[in-house]
Amino acid sequence: MHRDKATGLALMAVGIVGILVYGWLIFFSPWTTFILQLTAFVAVGAVLAILAWVGYALATTPPPKPIEEIEREIQKSLGEG
């Protein structure tokens, strides 16, 4: 449990530092427009990548067996046992 606590504290510290750096980049840096554009691009890109992955999974996953076929298999296995 001690290692989990250290990992949690490290993640919390990284998150807080990240928030502070991002806040500085948005409000005080000369690259504000670029940072906002990059943030929007990454966010939209992540959503569209997830959408593409779901579409790929739907397109490549074979359809399930009909319930009647599954019932026949169960009856056949029960009859043999």
pLDDT, averaged in runs of 10, over the chain (81 residues):
92 98 96 97 98 96 88 84 52
pLDDT tens track for 20-33: 999 999 999 999 99
pLDDT at 76: 86
Q: How many CB atoms lie within 10 A of CB 39?
A: 13
User: What residues contact 16, with CB distance under 8 A and at least 6 apart?
Assistant: none
What letter would DSSP give residue 1? -
User: What residues contact 44, with CB distance under 8 A and at least 6 apart?
Assistant: none
pLDDT at 77: 86
pLDDT at 79: 78
pLDDT at 21: 97
In angstroms, the Cα distances linking 49 to 43, 44, 46, 56, 69 are: 10, 8, 5, 10, 36
